Amino acid sequence: MTEDDKFQRMIRSQKFLDRIPHMGAIGLQLVDFAPGAVTVRLPYSLDLVGNPDTGVLAGGAISAVLDNVCGSAVVARVEKSDAFATLDLRIDYMRPAEPGLDVFAYAECYKVTRLIAFVRGFAYHDDKAKPIANATATFMFTGQGKLAQATES
Amino acid sequence: MSGFRETFQLMKQANDFSGLPLAVPYAKFLGIGVAVQDSRVITTMAYADKLIGNTTLPALHGGTIAALLELAALFQIAYEIETEAMPKTITITIDYMRSGAARDTYARAWATRIGRRVANVRAEAWQDDPAKPIAAANANFLLA
């Protein structure tokens, strides 16, 4: 098994998220993985509440999850373990998260160029038609000399 | 009515924001501290290992920087306005300019416009030099 095969195996497992300390800190779980698309679950936690009067999760916590799931979608799309960094991230909040409920987030990497990956995603509870927040992100590959190879063009 | 608004107003009157993490649990989780200099809220995110996104570099998780910028923008508006309700984020766009090193991070924000219903805010985060931001954000908040 080559290093890249190992990488492919690893990113299909929870280990991929466990390697990211902040995602371990908020308890993010991998739910589904497909080429270029990832779904994660954020368990409800009082630590992540923005308004203690209502118990609603902080927008920032949703942002962190969306940032991560968008990055994960890039990993799910490229063949090699190229390093990349978030270039920009836009989050639109449609509704507050329901107190006490887990939040799911889905993202798909829909285009990869030599240097840039384009991703869209959203957060929801149980109905994808009722999103909590929408995300659009771009990432730049920073691996020196190792450019991304899209799994499909 | 909002406990956050009341708490924030009391902190504002006393110019003591040490109780802020009690008003916003997520701020406590991120290690957020707040101080005010010349009517500008300076929001600090104290370094902790759990904020790391990339252990190789190492670098802060982009999501924590997004959260810091959003909180900094929110606190600046809360500092400037007098309404009861806690402002709600409508949209935020974050530009990442430099990777965040494993150290304390600071953020400040400017309300470019505060209207009756919407506030437009610009926020910047930096580590060693405010003139070299690691990330910046534009955010719109619903006020009513």
CA-CA distance, A111 to A108, in Å (whole number)? 9
Closest CA to B107 of B59, B57, B58, B71: B71
CA-CA distance, B41 to B140, in Å (whole number)? 17
Q: Could you tell me which residues come within 8 angstroms of residue B119 by beta carbon, excluding any fewer than 6 positions away?
A: B77, B81, B87, B111, B113, B140, B141, B143
Number of domains present in the structure of chain B: 1
> What are the pLDDT digits (tens) for B66-119?
999 999 999 999 889 876 677 899 999 999 999 999 999 999 999 999 999 999
pLDDT at res. A146: 43
Nearest-Cα residue of chain A relative to residue B24: A50
Query: Mean pLDDT score of chain B, rounded to an integer?
Result: 91
Handedness of CA B43, B48, B51, B57 (dihedral sign): positive
**Contact check, Cβ <8 Å, A59/B89:** yes
CA-CA distance, B9 to B101, in Å (whole number)? 33
pLDDT at res. A140: 93
Looking at chain B, how many residues does it have? 144
CA-CA distance, A34 to A5, in Å (whole number)? 15
Give the range of the structural domain holding residue B119, as residue numbers without chain letter. Answer: 3-142
Residue with tokens 């109905």: A127
One-letter identity of residue B93: T
What is chain A's alpha carbon radius of gyration, rounded to the nearest angstrom?
A: 15
- In chain B the beta strands, taken as DSSP E runs, fall at 32-37, 40-45, 52-54, 59-60, 88-96, 105-114, 118-126, 135-142
CA-CA distance, B98 to B40, in Å (whole number)? 23
Q: Does B88 touch chain A (CB under 8 A)?
A: yes
Tell me which residue in B4, B62, B91 faces A92 most closely, judged by beta carbons. Answer: B91
Nearest-10 crossing angle of helices B62-80, B3-14: 70
Residue B41 confidence (pLDDT) above 90: yes
**How is chain A split into domains, by residue range?**
3-141
Contact A69, A59 (CB under 8 A): no
Contact B108, B124 (CB under 8 A): yes
Nearest-Cα residue of chain A relative to residue B93: A90
Quick one: A3-141 is in which CATH superfamily? Answer: Hotdog Thioesterase (3.10.129.10)
Residue B13 confidence (pLDDT) above 90: no
How much is the average pLDDT of A25-50? 94
- Encoded tokens for B27: 């701020």
Query: Mean pLDDT score of chain A, rounded to an integer?
Result: 87
Nearest-Cα residue of chain B relative to residue A18: B53
pLDDT at res. A6: 64
Q: Taking the CB of residue A48, how many other CB atoms lie within 10 A of it?
A: 26
- Identify the CATH number of the domain in which residue B50 sits: 3.10.129.10
- Encoded tokens for B79: 């500092």
> What are the pLDDT digits (tens) for A4-32?
666 666 666 677 788 899 999 999 999 99
Q: Taking the CB of residue B67, how many other CB atoms lie within 10 A of it?
A: 31
**pLDDT category of residue B1 using cuts at 50, 70 and 90:** very low
* Chain B residues inside the 8 Å CB shell of A133: none
pLDDT at res. A16: 75
Nearest-Cα residue of chain A relative to residue B91: A92
Contact A76, A38 (CB under 8 A): yes
Tell me which residue in B53, B63, B93 faces A88 most closely, judged by beta carbons. Answer: B93
Q: Does B18 touch chain A (CB under 8 A)?
A: no
Contact B141, B73 (CB under 8 A): yes
* Chain A residues inside the 8 Å CB shell of B99: 85
Tell me which residue in B3, B90, B95 faces A53 most closely, judged by beta carbons. Answer: B3
How much is the average pLDDT of A30-35? 90
CA-CA distance, A129 to A125, in Å (whole number)? 10
Contact A80, A149 (CB under 8 A): yes
